[in-house]
Structure 1
Amino acid sequence: MVTTGNAADNTQITYNVSFPEAQAHYADIEMKITGLKQDELELKMPVWTPGSYLVREFARNIEGLSASANGKSLSAKKIRKNIWQLHIAGIGTVVIKYRVYAFEISVRTSFIDASHAFLSSPDMFLYPGNMLHSASTIHIKPYKAWDKVSTSLEKVNGDVFTRYSPNYDILFDSPIEIGNQEIFNFDAYGVHYEVCMQGGGNYDKERLKKDLAKVVAEEVAIYGENPNKHYTFIIHNALKGGGGLEHLSSTTLGASRDAYTTERGYQNFLSLAAHEHFHLWNVKRLRPIALGPFDYDNENYTTNLWIAEGFTAYYQDIIVRRTQLYSPENYLGMLAEDINLLENSEGAKVQTLAESSYDAWIKAYRPNENSGNSTISYYTKGSIVALLLDLEIINDSKGQYSLDDVMRYMYNEYYKTKQRGYTDAEFKAGLEKFAGKNLDDFYAKYINGLTPVDYAYYLGLAGYKLTNELADNNDPALGITTIPNIPRLIVATVTRGSAAWKDGINVNDEIIAIDGEPALEAGKLLSGKKVGDKIKVTIARDGILMDIPVTLLKSTKVKYKVDELPNPTAQQLVVRKKWLTLK
């Protein structure tokens, strides 16, 4: 039986969540706090959700907040964008009522309609200031015929509609799905897994049970334990779905409902599931020191998201490769795609990996038309850096160690033994322990600097090389992209250093003609043109027609593939076998 009091302060907190207007995307919440002894109470709404590094101002969706005690109204004065203050001298019990509008489809925000409710807890539940340690009970009154709840929060007395959280860090890390979703289960390494499928789809649940269990097994093998008793996959299937958000004992995934039966679609889903499940160790427990205890009022800055997310992005594909569910060739193809993504980004020449992590709060989640020229993804470059370190460690230890050993050591040393996060210097020391050498130069080049990645050296350790399939091309390029799926050619981005950049074509310009010929298709704008040609681009800018002379430059786009080197050495084969889990 679960009890719901807090032994430290005898405060009890309950929430009643109902959906009288689910079709209009509202939840009604009644919060009751008993055992209060202070003169003032602050009610707070988080401004961000852990794992998604952007201040999202969740309080903007709250309506009609009111407070009462003993049947009489209390003043609830808003003193900050996300804080309400109540004067409660001599009052032991307070009831707060408010409504939340929820109509943003993502894995990190709440969404409610007549078919289901997805509650991302940080944008749903107010909490009492200075009481993050307090336990709470959530009573759910489902809308109409909804009959299921999927969450990692524990049931109270076996009631599926009543859940318990021991503190607010747990509550804010436990999304709740309510509706008529399909649920199936499997067990892996003594842990019970629930898979919640909302939105339908052409998935084969028996196949998913077996393959997800294989993914779990490979990840548990790295860390030596699964710290959960149970784990919940909440999967939202949509026409076009994607993305995921990690939680302590669950995850929310976005998937395309009709993609499970294609080879690429299924591989992508397994990689996404592997990514978010890997986070239950890396970031939820083994974490940068800045990421916990959380400050829910402000940004929580770290330069180490390239470890928290980038390393996880590396492992998502290498883990599925280890299950033998897809071939080494498939994995190398995915690796080439990541390399192409980084190497075709002008931002790789501007923003360091550490800067990308630190500036996530203002740049990563708010991309604009110039982001490709000025930023990189700590997922992509972090994944590539993890690859370099893995190959280096395997090579230098002659196959005795790998990046797995670093992750296991850091997990045991900091999460289990020291029971805290790691600093930048401590993670670097962990890498050096297994690399067997100082990594100052590596960090100066690839973490804190802008040195191009030496793929020839690192892939060469495993007997591979990169081949640029476009190396012999001499095609001209404007250096623009256009807005897709509209009948007009509207410029969406302009690449730094390109012909369009140099000669002044702007984002939002409409391309009307090239040398007087109507511009009909983006892919055929430069038909018959050569590098060095001087052309006249007719555009419409803010309703004004103008001609812009442009000198065409060579396309700088690369398209790499990973090829084997001829006659690999015995040492290269040792590295290759361990890296790719070759039989």
Structure 2
Amino acid sequence: MHYHISVAEPGSHFLCLTYIIPDIASDYIEIQLPAWRPGRYEIQNFAKNIQFIEAVSQSGEKLSIIKITKDRWRIATKGETEVKVQYSYYAAIQNAGSSYVDGELWYLNFINFCMYTEGRISEPYQVFLDLPEGYQVACGLPFHGANTLTAGDFYQLVDSPLLASLTLQKSEYEVNGVDFKIWMHGNLKPNWKRIERDFKRFSREQIATMKEFPEQDYHFLNLILPTAFYHGVEHRNSTMVVLGPDDEGEGLYSDLLGVSSHELFHAWNIIRIRPIELFPYDFTKENYFRTCFVAEGCTTYYGDLFLKRAGVFNHETYIKELQVYMKRHFENNGAASLSLTDSSFDLWLDGYEKGIPDRKVSVYHKGALVALILDLYIRKKTSHEQSLDDVMLLLWMRFGKPYIGYTLEDYINIVEEVAGESLEWYWQECIFGNNPLETRLNEAMAFVGLQMTTFSNGNIQLNVLDDFRAQIQRDKWLSTVQKHTEDEEEE
């Protein structure tokens, strides 16, 4: 399969696309545009951004092309062995899952506008970018010649966003043989020495915890806007992050660290450690699953935990981040009626909207809190010999590394294997039920000298208790897995 992508009038924000389908041996073919994208479990109907579409033969003859669903077309091939589909796509949105082009930037998420031919989704793709002269390209896909990208199949293509511009800034570092690149586009002058030091630290900590990294390279793609924004999306060997405002203050840098650590852990958890219901992705409809509290909740918990373990966050900053999760859950939807599993399932319904009062919980915020409860419970029971780290590592070894989907039952079994006991109370109260979390959370945190206080006005505060024995346990919980050498500290 081949794609040619150009922009005739940058100010119009329209992509000009040619999709070339070779080796046709049937009277008709059907082509499909995805209805949703990985990392955002809701129908997004990208087809609404297609302005026009036509199919032509190798000789230029127009072929019959009929729309048969909102994002699927049937083409009568008339005996042709190769067909070109030509269409335009409006790319004018800047968030971490969209596409945008103008006179100085190409930001492409191929999932928005690229198609596959029914029955041929696993065939390789070659993409030619008709870029303005001098543009630098940031993308996780391999290059073959100038401005030509290749993907092993459609799944790899649409899991590899791209930034291209004359003004891209880049830094890179290496951890355990893995090449990491940090790309920036926006009106700022990054403190690369500080960024490289902190990114290397949390990358090293994550790899040490999980024993290995799934890819040989990884790209942090960052689009920095002048307005307030916070959004990140995980991909196979990259992440797309959109942040703002571009004032280069500590708030922007803290956001960059938090979202980057979170998205990097997704390289294991959801990209490879994936629920069986998402194997493989079906881009035509909803892919319902009940374990997003694992995919997003555990990742939210670990994103900041890795920053503390790696020495990027100090103790005060980490406690403040924990309090943020608590405030967002208890002050916003602590009395919600849906469980975590039901809220995971209903992501496809209204998971990314505010919704009606007291209906659903956040798989991110409540998911992080129940991950904290589980981690501290296992640590207390085993005197830190076992933890949630071991759960994630077993998920990686048994499901992520062999790249097979796990079930909810698989997750339950691994957790109870690590804990060494049945945890029926945890599943019924924290995962399948909608019991208030305050008591269980404070029971777990007492082990490490933390206590959450709920005030009469509904506000939440997380306190650190002055208890020497609890401080020892807290230090063990937050201690680094990867010991830093003197040379690394100097870096």
Q: Does residue 465 in structure 1 map to residue 465 in structure 2?
A: no
Q: Does residue 131 in structure 1 map to residue 120 in structure 2?
A: yes
Which residue number in structure 1 is paired with residue 236 of structure 2?
A: 248
Q: How many percent of aligned residue pairs carry the same amino acid?
A: 27
Q: Does residue 579 in structure 1 map to residue 477 in structure 2?
A: yes
Which residue number in structure 2 is paired with residue 101 of structure 1?
A: 90
Q: Does residue 360 in structure 1 map to residue 347 in structure 2?
A: yes
In the TM superposition, what whole-angstrom CA distance separates every residue of 1:205-224 from its partner, at most 9, and x where no partner exists? 22111211111101101111
In the TM superposition, what whole-angstrom CA distance separates every residue of 1:128-185 from its partner, at most 9, and x where no partner exists? 1121101110000014x5511111111014x2x1000110000110111122222222
Does the aligned pair in 1 maintain the 2:34–2:71 contact within 8 Å?
yes
Q: Does residue 421 in structure 1 map to residue 405 in structure 2?
A: yes
Instruction: Provide the C-alpha distance between the structure 1 equivalents of 2:77 and 2:303, rounded to a whole number of angstroms.
Output: 50
Which residue number in structure 1 is paired with residue 55 of structure 2?
A: 67
The Cα shift of 1:568 comes to: 4.6
Instruction: Provide the C-alpha distance between the structure 2 equivalents of 1:73 and 1:280, rounded to a whole number of angstroms.
Output: 43
Q: Does residue 393 in structure 1 map to residue 378 in structure 2?
A: yes
Give the direction of change, closer, same or farther, for the CA distance of 1:351–1:443 in structure 2 (3 Å limit).
same
Instruction: Provide the C-alpha distance between the structure 2 equivalents of 1:367 and 1:380, rounded to a whole number of angstroms.
Output: 14
Secondary structure in 2 aligned to 1:433? helix
Secondary structure in 2 aligned to 1:222? helix
2:160 is aligned with what amino acid?
Answer: S
Secondary structure in 2 aligned to 1:446? helix
Which residue number in structure 2 is paired with residue 225 of structure 1?
A: 212
Does the aligned pair in 2 maintain the 1:156–1:162 contact within 8 Å?
yes
Which residue number in structure 2 is paired with residue 213 of structure 1?
A: 200
Which residue number in structure 1 is paired with residue 24 of structure 2?
A: 36
Quick one: which of 247, 256, 263 aligns to 1:269?
256
1:578 is aligned with what amino acid?
Answer: K
Instruction: Provide the C-alpha distance between the structure 1 equivalents of 2:334 and 2:318, rounded to a whole number of angstroms.
Output: 25
Which residue number in structure 2 is paired with residue 342 of structure 1?
A: 329
The Cα shift of 1:203 comes to: 2.3
Quick one: which of 106, 113, 117 aligns to 1:117?
106
The Cα shift of 1:190 comes to: 0.9
Which residue number in structure 2 is paired with residue 487 of structure 1?
A: none
The Cα shift of 1:431 comes to: 0.7
Quick one: which of 117, 140, 162 aligns to 1:176?
162
Which residue number in structure 1 is paired with residue 431 of structure 2?
A: 447
- Name whichever of 83-92 and 47-56 sits farther off: 83-92
Does the aligned pair in 2 maintain the 1:150–1:176 contact within 8 Å?
yes
Instruction: Provide the C-alpha distance between the structure 1 equivalents of 2:352 and 2:467, rounded to a whole number of angstroms.
Output: 45
In the TM superposition, what whole-angstrom CA distance separates every residue of 1:352-381 from its partner, at most 9, and x where no partner exists? 11111110011112334x3x5322210000
2:435 is aligned with what amino acid?
Answer: T
Instruction: Provide the C-alpha distance between the structure 1 equivalents of 2:236 and 2:435, rounded to a whole number of angstroms.
Output: 36
Instruction: Provide the C-alpha distance between the structure 1 equivalents of 2:351 and 2:103, rounded to a whole number of angstroms.
Output: 33
Give the direction of change, closer, same or farther, for the CA distance of 1:286–1:466 in structure 2 (3 Å limit).
same
Which residue number in structure 1 is paired with residue 488 of structure 2?
A: none
Instruction: Provide the C-alpha distance between the structure 1 equivalents of 2:301 and 2:462, rounded to a whole number of angstroms.
Output: 17
The Cα shift of 1:347 comes to: 5.5
Instruction: Provide the C-alpha distance between the structure 2 equivalents of 1:452 and 1:259, rounded to a whole number of angstroms.
Output: 40
Q: What is the TM-score with the length of structure 1 in the denominator?
A: 0.79
Instruction: Provide the C-alpha distance between the structure 1 equivalents of 2:151 and 2:128, rounded to a whole number of angstroms.
Output: 12
The Cα shift of 1:39 comes to: 2.2
The Cα shift of 1:98 comes to: 0.5
Does the aligned pair in 1 maintain the 2:141–2:150 contact within 8 Å?
yes
Does the aligned pair in 1 maintain the 2:336–2:361 contact within 8 Å?
no
Which residue number in structure 2 is paired with residue 3 of structure 1?
A: none
Which residue number in structure 2 is paired with residue 560 of structure 1?
A: 461
In the TM superposition, what whole-angstrom CA distance separates every residue of 1:331-350 from its partner, at most 9, and x where no partner exists? 11211121111111246332
Does the aligned pair in 1 maintain the 2:297–2:368 contact within 8 Å?
yes
Quick one: which of 26, 45, 61 aligns to 2:14?
26
The Cα shift of 1:202 comes to: 4.1
The Cα shift of 1:200 comes to: 2.4
More helix by share: 2
Q: Does residue 293 in structure 1 map to residue 280 in structure 2?
A: yes
Q: Does residue 383 in structure 1 map to residue 363 in structure 2?
A: no
1:577 is aligned with what amino acid?
Answer: D
Unmatched 5+ stretches in structure 2: 484-491
Secondary structure in 2 aligned to 1:155? coil
Which residue number in structure 2 is paired with residue 321 of structure 1?
A: 308
- Name whichever of 391-400 and 85-94 sits farther off: 85-94
The 5 A counterparts of 1:415-564 are 415-417=400-402, 419-453=403-437, 454=439, 455-468=441-454, 470-471=455-456, 556-564=457-465
Does the aligned pair in 2 maintain the 1:391–1:461 contact within 8 Å?
yes
Instruction: Provide the C-alpha distance between the structure 2 equivalents of 1:155 and 1:249, rounded to a whole number of angstroms.
Output: 14
Secondary structure in 1 aligned to 2:52? strand
The Cα shift of 1:574 comes to: 5.0
Instruction: Provide the C-alpha distance between the structure 2 equivalents of 1:465 and 1:71, rounded to a whole number of angstroms.
Output: 71
The Cα shift of 1:37 comes to: 1.2
Instruction: Provide the C-alpha distance between the structure 1 equivalents of 2:467 and 2:110, rounded to a whole number of angstroms.
Output: 56
Which residue number in structure 2 is paired with residue 538 of structure 1?
A: none
Which residue number in structure 1 is paired with residue 487 of structure 2?
A: none
Question: Which of the two has higher C-alpha Rg?
Answer: 1
Secondary structure in 1 aligned to 2:282? coil
Instruction: Provide the C-alpha distance between the structure 2 equivalents of 1:296 and 1:346, rounded to a whole number of angstroms.
Output: 31
Secondary structure in 1 aligned to 2:79? coil
Q: Does residue 163 in structure 1 map to residue 152 in structure 2?
A: no
2:312 is aligned with what amino acid?
Answer: L
Which residue number in structure 2 is paired with residue 407 of structure 1?
A: 392
Instruction: Provide the C-alpha distance between the structure 2 equivalents of 1:348 and 1:381, rounded to a whole number of angstroms.
Output: 12
Unmatched 5+ stretches in structure 1: 1-12, 472-555
Does the aligned pair in 2 maintain the 1:347–1:375 contact within 8 Å?
no
Instruction: Provide the C-alpha distance between the structure 2 equivalents of 1:258 and 1:92, rounded to a whole number of angstroms.
Output: 51
Instruction: Provide the C-alpha distance between the structure 2 equivalents of 1:360 and 1:431, rounded to a whole number of angstroms.
Output: 24
- The Cα RMSD (Å) is 1.7
Does the aligned pair in 2 maintain the 1:18–1:29 contact within 8 Å?
yes
**Bigger relative contact order (CA 8 A; separation at least 6):** 2
Instruction: Provide the C-alpha distance between the structure 2 equivalents of 1:448 and 1:201, rounded to a whole number of angstroms.
Output: 46
Instruction: Provide the C-alpha distance between the structure 2 equivalents of 1:202 and 1:150, rounded to a whole number of angstroms.
Output: 18
Instruction: Provide the C-alpha distance between the structure 2 equivalents of 1:233 and 1:346, rounded to a whole number of angstroms.
Output: 32
Instruction: Provide the C-alpha distance between the structure 2 equivalents of 1:388 and 1:396, rounded to a whole number of angstroms.
Output: 12
Q: What is the TM-score with the length of structure 2 in the denominator?
A: 0.93
Does the aligned pair in 1 maintain the 2:144–2:150 contact within 8 Å?
yes
The Cα shift of 1:436 comes to: 1.3
Does the aligned pair in 2 maintain the 1:202–1:259 contact within 8 Å?
no
Give the direction of change, closer, same or farther, for the CA distance of 1:322–1:67 in structure 2 (3 Å limit).
same
Instruction: Provide the C-alpha distance between the structure 1 equivalents of 2:211 and 2:442, rounded to a whole number of angstroms.
Output: 34
Instruction: Provide the C-alpha distance between the structure 2 equivalents of 1:23 and 1:206, rounded to a whole number of angstroms.
Output: 36
- Name whichever of 20-29 and 195-204 sits farther off: 195-204
2:318 is aligned with what amino acid?
Answer: Y
Secondary structure in 2 aligned to 1:212? helix
